[in-house]
Structure 1
Amino acid sequence: MDIQAQPIRVVLLDDHEIFLKGLEKLLSQQPVLRLVASFSTGKMLIETLPQLQADVLLLDLQVPDITAEELLAQIKKIYPKVPVLYLTMMRGSRIMHRIEKLGASGYILKDASVAQLLTAIQCVAAGDTYFLEESLSKDEEKNTVTQPSIRVAESLSKREIEILNLVCQEYSSAEIGEKLFLSTGTVDTHRRNILVKLGVNNTVGLVKFAIQNGLLNEV
């Protein structure tokens, strides 16, 4: 079944009214998304969430009425499996590690492009994680492509490893989609997320990385 057949239902939280209204309009204009509700406080979100159906929670990392840790804990009690994607202006490895520790599915910078935001939402909706490449320092980017394969296997989902194997076998996105019963757009989203996670720029880099780290046929 094509997981992108129905619009992704998004719930939004941000305490800055101008940004919130702008993001509401932006999300409402995307055919692949459906904005279910938006909130300006964590308390309002928690009170209303049990009555909502959502595929992704797009949350400001810092709202004044509740900490990110407390908010996520409350969310997990209501919908333990709904992915949380954080919005933030903060960059760098420290914030990335904090979000990973929280158990969220990823984060996107508030000055990211619309394409990046859509990719991030689609990735977490598909059960993957999303951490924007530019949030890493140059040294961390270098380490990303040389880290032990066991750590890479932990950072990639089973689906991503499966797609990586097919990419290395020279399957096109359309062919991979047909083989795995996914849309071409979904496969492309996975491929972009794999590039980000592994810190490489193209298919040649993916193949080289997979061979060097023993990831081929690791499904």
Structure 2
Amino acid sequence: MTRVYITDDHEMYLEGLSLLLQRQTAVEVTGTSSNASDLLLRLPQLSPEDILLLDVNLPDMEEEDLIKKIRTIRPQQKVIYLTLIRGTRYVHKLLKYQVQGYILKNASVDELVKAIDAVAAGGQYFSKEIDILSEGEFRNTLTIEDRKVNEILSKREVEVLKLVCKEFSNAEIAQKLFLSISTVETHRKNLIAKLGVQNTVGLVKFAIRNNLID
């Protein structure tokens, strides 16, 4: 029986994933947390054999700060990251902390169980949709000229990008697109991750290069 502990700040996703995994005969869900602080509080009581299924974007702590703390408390704890982001920027930032997996949240239950089994056996697992390149081979999407914008970004992300480039605040973008401010913040993070840039300046350069703004 493979033991997993899930951390995700979206209650419906957390409960749904927990129920789906509990139906698997070879997987035991030992507990859940909805934020990084609660996970760190519970981590010393977890078994070293537990595999952490960990959302990349948690509201109370940056992903790199969290994995550093996890490694301090439990250097050998196995970690599989769950994410909606296909960009490789997060992957390379987290790989240096010896994480065992990185899987998209829209993966099937079969694929997730396959990832859990691989990590439990001492291996690694990364969603096939994510290009895992070595640091020497890594190129961010800003420099890949043959990629079409609509293959990288959703329509909503393009809308947010254009408004970001026009210097609208998160609150103003939320009002214009009838979104919550937190949703706009998530779109900003996803844009930066997908395009492999560091800040708003990088977003503007991408938009200009791809004729999204004048």
The two structures have a TM-score, normalised by structure 2, of 0.58
Other-structure match for 2:45: 51
Does the CA-based 8 Å contact 1:15-1:63 persist in structure 2? Answer: yes
* Structure 2 Cα separation of the partners of residues 95 and 48 of structure 1: 25
| Residue 115 of structure 1, aligned match among 110, 113, 135 | 110
Structure 1 unmatched ranges of 5 or more:
1-6, 145-219
1:119 aligned partner, one-letter code: K
Q: What is the number of equivalent residue pairs in this alignment?
A: 133
Deviations 1:86-113 (A, max 9, x none): 0000003333322323431121100001
Does the CA-based 8 Å contact 1:89-1:109 persist in structure 2? Answer: yes
Does the CA-based 8 Å contact 1:96-1:131 persist in structure 2? Answer: no
Other-structure match for 2:181: none
Deviations 1:158-201 (A, max 9, x none): xxxxxxxxxxxxxxxxxxxxxxxxxxxxxxxxxxxxxxxxxxxx
Deviations 1:5-50 (A, max 9, x none): xx11101100001101101101111111110010001100101111
The two structures have a TM-score, normalised by structure 1, of 0.57
* More helix per residue: 1
Q: Alignment RMSD, CA only?
A: 1.8
* Structure 2 Cα separation of the partners of residues 76 and 99 of structure 1: 12
Other-structure match for 2:75: 80
Structure 2 unmatched ranges of 5 or more:
138-214
1:25 corresponds to 2:19? yes
User: 1:135 deviation in Å?
Assistant: 1.4
Aligned with 2:9: secondary structure?
coil
Other-structure match for 1:36: 30
1:64 corresponds to 2:63? no
